[in-house]
Structure 1
Amino acid sequence: MDPSPTLARRFWEAIEPVHAVAYFTREPAEAARAIGLTGWWMGYFAGRVAPLGPVGGAAAAALFFAFSPVKPARALPEAWERADPGKVLDSRLAAVRAALDRVLPPTGPDSLRRLVHLLERATEGCAHEGRALAAAWSRVPRPADLAGRLWLATTILREHRGDGHVIAVVHGGLTGLEASLTHVATGNVSRELIQRSRGWTDAEWDEARRRLVARGLLDRDSRLTRTGGALRREIENATDRLAADPVATLGETGVEEAIRLAAPISRHLVDTNVIPVPNPIGAPRP
């Protein structure tokens, strides 16, 4: 990783654990089951794509290409036979608000209101060309409460960055699976954690490893070569560049203020084990 993280990356690190509450707390999963979505992964995929409407597994696989396409295909479009996207979205928003009410640290209302204001301003600066998830979430009406607004703003910003990361990976000549192998090769996360959560078989994983070895990106011990490390840094730096819209909107002073206000919240979520580190989404302790 870049030893001097860019402002865009530090901004993401400060807010990602807030968004990740949707994945690591019990309320969203319980709410999904309550409206008829069976299995954790059906709730996950339906909940993330709900603002796009009743998309199918193939479209979801294109958006979430770090996952084996088998996983979204198992969840979609069956989820929409159980609950329409509007119901899924409303359920998810209510569940996340309940989770945040439980897990957020005590924060002065003025500080929280200021953070929400900064993050919402940042979302307004995001361009959405080629960024379907960010565009869809940006059209979700803002909740009335501060916790709900906080989560929605962090979600728009992280999907904006995530869509940009997909663009950077594709431009770098990697598949989603291959990018996952290079992530594991950094040593920041285990193969077991990534492979299990993303749904790839041993055969698929090993074939991708052979391709990366043949290209000189991994060595035979699955470590990044110099060329592989350079490509990984290039992709991360491109992701940062593609995430520059909100940073440019707030300016350095505004982003630093947002980081100052958000980082203690995210550190609390990690330190109280609400958000485990390491995790498949790469969210660090700010």
Structure 2
Amino acid sequence: MDPHTAGRTARMLEPLHALGYFAREVDDEVSALGVRRGRATYFASRAAPMGRVGAGPVAATFYVFNPSLVAHFIPSAWESASPDEVVAARYRGVSAAWARLLGEEVLASDEVKEAADLARAAAGGCSVAGRPLHAAHADLPWPVEPHMALFHAITLLREHRGDGHVAALVGSDLSGIDALVTHTATGRGFTRAAAQSTRAWSDDEWAASVAGLAERGLMTSAGELTEEGTALRRTVEHRTEESAFAPWQALGESGTQRLTELCRPLVTTALANGAFPEGVFA
């Protein structure tokens, strides 16, 4: 097994984590605490494992979001609910969302329990060093229910990989908006319109990033990647895959293959049952 094969497994699993950002059950549970619906519940629920942090640490770890957007919701969210309350609400919401999308019978199956055990073994191979968002989630207690243990393990793997991706971007001197500008220029699914609307970067800020990248020879003035820019994006992805490889080495090739076999039907079912808005994880 190589890092790129492991990376494919990680990307296959990600919808089972990410559906929690779109699930109405999570929005309902967190907003019931007094946190504003929508973006506020996203920032609060994902940041809550770090404790009562301010906008700075959240913007640093979420990276590609405009810091001004983060500051609009954090730390004010903690005036409505404590981080511990938000974490508990998030997990209640995710559990309900999995039940709706996958069915109670599936969640109680031996296959889900086996997948949870395998994913937990993989997560045990993660290192917290230099990975603040992963480390915060790793400090949370493990859920008892197998399907929530599976969600927690997949979340640990996703945040471990995400922290490594941020490190690769920083090492390549790509700011949060530079990361979005270069990523959308690859044409791999994420559009400029979606990036700007969800991450809150203005047209002027986008244009300034393009201009700066053009000065570095990474883009044309029209916003297309040059050969150097394409090579840099490849380097970022390669470094991300390499730094995320340890947990899959710990699980081993046969364990990774088995986890893929067990979870692929869960992902397919969740997608078919409307886990995401149209165009997300299509």
TM-score of the aligned structures, taking structure 2 as reference length? 0.94
Aligned to 1:199: 200
Question: Which residue does 2:121 correspond to in 1?
Answer: 121
In the aligned structure 2, how far is the partner of 1:100 from the partner of 1:45? Answer: 21
The one-letter code of the counterpart of 2:164 is G
Q: What letter corresponds to residue 24 of structure 1 in structure 2?
A: F
1:176 corresponds in structure 2 to 176
Equivalent position of 1:209 in the other structure: 210
One of 34, 40, 43 as aligned partner of 1:42: 40
* Residue aligning to 2:51: 53
Amino acid at match of 1:215: R
- How far the C-alpha of 1:5 sits from its partner, in A, is 7.8
Partner of 1:273: 274
1:153 paired residue number: 153
The answer as to whether partners of 1:270 and 1:276 remain within 8 angstroms in 2 is: no
| Residue in structure 1 matched with residue 74 of structure 2 by the alignment | 76
Give CA-to-partner distance per residue, 1:167-186, whole Å, 9 cap, x none.
00101110011010111101
How many pairs does the alignment contain? 278
Which letter maps to 1:237? Answer: H
In 1, distance between residues paired with 2:10 and 2:166? 16
Equivalent residues of 1:123, 1:138 under 8 A apart: no
SS in 2 for 1:126: coil
Alignment of 1:244-259 (within 5 A): 244-259=245-260
User: Taking structure 1 as reference, are residues 242 and 15 closer, same or farther at Cα in structure 2, changes over 3 Å only?
Assistant: same
SS of residue in 1 equivalent to 2:252 = helix
| 1:58 counterpart letter in structure 2 | G
Deviation at 1:49, TM superposition (A): 1.4
Distance in 2 between residues matched to 1:219 and 1:258, nearest whole Å: 42
Cα deviation, residue 247, structure 1: 0.8
SS for the counterpart of 2:174 is: coil
- Larger displacement relative to structure 2 (9-18 or 102-111): 102-111
Determine the structure 1 residue equivalent to 2:97: 99
Runs of 4+ in 1 over 2 A off after TM superposition: 105-108, 267-273, 275-279
Residue in structure 2 matched with residue 219 of structure 1 by the alignment: 220
Structure 2 gap segments, 5+ residues each:
none
Give the one of 9, 19, 22 matched to 2:20: 22
| Aligned partner of residue 53 in structure 2, secondary structure | coil
Q: Which runs of 5+ in 1 are unaligned?
A: none
1:89 to 87, 90, 112: 87
CA–CA distance in 1 between the matches of 2:23 and 2:186?
Answer: 27
Q: Aligned Cα RMSD in Å? A: 1.6
For the residues of structure 2 that align with 1:154 and 1:80, how far apart are their CA atoms? 26
Post-superposition Cα deviations, 1:229-269, rounded to whole Å, max 9, x if no partner, equal: 11101100100001011111011111111111112211222
Which letter maps to 1:12?
A
Deviations 1:12-58 (CA, angstroms, capped at 9, x unpaired): 12210000111121111111211000131111111111111100001
Distance 1:5 1:212 in 2: 29
Listed one character per residue, the Cα deviations across residues 56-94 of structure 1 (whole Å, up to 9, x for unaligned) are 001111111100001111111111111011111111111
In 1, the alpha carbon distance for the partners of 2:236 and 2:273 equals 32
Residue range with higher mean Cα deviation, 159-168 or 209-218: 209-218
Relative distance call for 1:227 and 1:204 in structure 2 (3 A) is same
Judge which range, 246-255 or 108-117, deviates more: 108-117
TM-score (norm 1): 0.93
* SS at structure 2 position matched to 1:103: helix
2:133 touches 2:163 (CA, 8 Å); kept in 1?
yes
